[in-house]
Amino acid sequence: METASEDVLVSRSARGDEQAFGVLVERYKGMLYSMSRRLMKDPGRAEDAAQESFIKAWAALPGFKGESKFSSWLYRICYNTCISELRKRKPEVELDEAMGVPVEGPVQEFRNRDIQATIQEEVSKLPDDYRAALTLYHFNGLSYEEIAKLTHKPMGTIKAHIHRARAVLKTRLLERVGWDNLKEVMWQ
């Protein structure tokens, strides 16, 4: 079953085959968690959003027409789930240490973590639309076109959101950590 094609698994899942859907969950759980983690900024809430997305997908699967790739459809469900949850609660800042920058010693490690935390803090302060577009582009590797389809926004809007997010981040980060510290962390 694990080697079955996506089309076969989707078709069987739409007919109620829980085992086939379990294989799809295994294939895409990392992708959904990764996206929801970046959008939600909280590991627990990200896991909840990813799980809720799979529940919603299971319920909606009989209506899946196959007009897009299953993964794109699933991504859209997760994106909507995360955005909906973000709108329900007030923004909060959580520091994410998962950027994984190599270090050379305890002092350097501490400084790098501090700068990484500042970067994540500033990303978390971006407006939801900017943060989502930036996250999907830089951390999830989606193209402008894929993000536009996923968010149902024009490609020009997506490009503008990413451009503006970068500009805001650049200004804020230069003020907070300075160019020399920032470039040292970014180009290691």
Domain presence at residue 100: no
Confidence check: pLDDT of 99 > 60:
no
What is the enclosing helix (H) or strand (E) of 188? Answer: none
Higher pLDDT, 40 or 113: 40
On whether residue 94 sits in a domain, the answer given is: no
Check: CB of residue 49 under 8 Å from CB of residue 75.
Answer: no
pLDDT in the model for residue 96: 37
Using DSSP's 3-state secondary structure scheme, residue 41 falls into coil
The CATH number linked to 78 is 1.10.1740.10
Q: Domain end: 43, 59, 88, which one?
A: 88
Q: Are residues 56 and 124 in the same domain?
A: no
In a domain, 93, yes or no: no
Q: How far is CA 107 from CA 101, 114, 120, 135, 186, in A?
A: 14, 11, 20, 29, 17
Lowest mean pLDDT among 61-65, 84-88, 92-96: 92-96
Same domain, yes or no, for 153 and 81?
A: no
Say what the pLDDT of residue 188 is.
46
Give the domain range for residue 43.
6-88
| DSSP assignment of 127-183 | -HHHHHHHIIIIIS---HHHHHHHHT--HHHHHHHHHHHHHHHHHHHHHHH-HHHHH
Largest Cα–Cα distance of the chain, in whole Å? 58
Asked if 133 and 158 touch (Cβ cutoff 8 Å), the reply is yes
| Residues 73 and 42 both lie in one domain | yes
Asked which of 88, 120, 138 is the last residue of a domain, the reply is 88
d(CA 61, CA 143): 25
Is the confidence at residue 104, as pLDDT, over 70? no
Instruction: Answer whether 49's CB lies under 8 Å from 3's CB.
Output: no
Instruction: Lowest mean pLDDT of 57-61, 90-94, 106-110, name the range.
Output: 90-94
* pLDDT value, residue 102: 46
Tell whether the model's pLDDT for residue 183 goes beyond 70: no
For residues 81 and 56, the answer to whether their CB atoms sit within 8 Å is: yes
Is residue 73 domain-shared with residue 130, that is, in the same domain? Answer: no
Residue 27's pLDDT is 92
81 and 120 within one domain: no
- 175 backbone φψ class: left, alpha, beta (φ>0; ψ -120 to 50): alpha
CA distance 104 to 88: 42
Tell whether 1 is covered by a domain: no
Q: Does residue 98 lie within any of the structural domains?
A: no
**CATH number, position 157:** 1.10.10.10
Q: Which of 34, 57, 88 is the last residue of a domain?
A: 88
How many distinct structural domains can be found in the chain? 2
Report yes or no: 52 and 81 within 8 Å, Cβ to Cβ.
yes
Q: How do residues 69-92 score in pLDDT, each as one tens digit? A: 888 889 889 988 988 888 776 444
Residue 112 within any structural domain of the chain: yes
The rounded distance, in Å, linking the Cα atoms of 61 and 10 is 8
Q: What percent of the chain has pLDDT over 70?
A: 81
Does residue 82 lie in a domain region?
yes
- Residue 51, in any domain of the structure: yes
Mean residue pLDDT across the chain:
80
**For the residues 107-111, what does the mean pLDDT come to?**
63
pLDDT value of residue 107? 59
Q: Are residues 11 and 70 in the same domain?
A: yes
